[in-house]
Amino acid sequence: MENKLVIGKALLKYMSFKKLSNYLLLLSSYQISRLLGKPRIWGLPTTLSIEPTTSCNLRCPECPSGLRNFSRPTGMIEEQLFRDIIDQSKDYLTFLHIYFQGEPFLHPKFLDMVSYADKSKVFTSTSTNAHYLNQKNVESILSSGLKQLIVSMDGITQEIYEDYRIGGNLEKVKKGLSLLLQTRKESRQLYPRIVLQFLVTGKNEHQIPALKDWAIEVGVDELQLKTTQIYDFEKGSPLIPSDHRYSRYLPNGNGTWRLKKKIENKCWRMWQGAVLTWDGRMLPCCFDKDGQHVMGKIGESSFKEIWKNETYSKFRKQLLEDRSQIDICKNCTE
Report residue 105 CA to chain centroid gap: 15
* Alpha-carbon torsion (278, 281, 282, 284), positive or negative: negative
pLDDT digits (tens, 9 = 90+) for 262-283: 889 999 999 999 999 999 999 9
Burial of 208 (0-12, 13-18, 19+ CB in 10 A): middle
Q: pLDDT at position 34, please?
A: 96
Q: Which amino acid is at 14?
A: Y
Distances (CA, A) of 325 to 150, 227, 236: 32, 23, 22
Q: What is the pLDDT of residues 222-232, one digit of tens each?
A: 999 999 888 88
Please tell me the distance from the alpha carbon of residue 156 to that of residue 91, in angstroms, as a whole number.
42
Separation of alpha carbons 314 and 303, rounded Å? 18
Q: Compute how many other C-beta atoms are within 10 angstroms of the C-beta atom of residue 64.
A: 20
Tell me the H-state helices in the chain.
Answer: 2-13, 17-36, 64-67, 79-89, 110-119, 135-144, 158-164, 170-186, 208-218, 269-272, 303-307, 310-322
pLDDT digits (tens, 9 = 90+) for 65-80: 877 778 888 899 999 9
3-state class of 126 per DSSP?
Answer: strand
> What pLDDT sits at residue 334?
67
- Write out the DSSP string of 251-269: E-SSS-EEESS---S--TH
Of 100, 104, 102, 101, nearest in space to 56 by CA: 102
What whole-number distance in Å separates Cα of residue 197 and Cα of residue 153? 6
In this predicted structure, the answer to whether residue 93 has a pLDDT above a threshold of 90 is yes
* β-pair type (273-276, 281-283): antiparallel
Rounded CA-CA distance 299/251 in Å is 46
Put residue 291 in one of left, alpha, beta given phi > 0 → left and psi -120 to 50 → alpha. left
Q: What pTM value is reported for the model?
A: 0.94
For residue 79, the SS3 value is helix
Report the candidate in 48, 147, 146 with the shortest Cα–Cα distance to residue 97: 48
Mean pLDDT, residues 287-306: 94
Percent of all residues in the chain with a pLDDT value above 90, rounded to a whole number: 84
Residue 65 vs residue 244, higher pLDDT:
244
> 292-297 long-range CB contacts below 8 Å, 24 or more apart?
292/327, 292/328, 293/326, 293/328
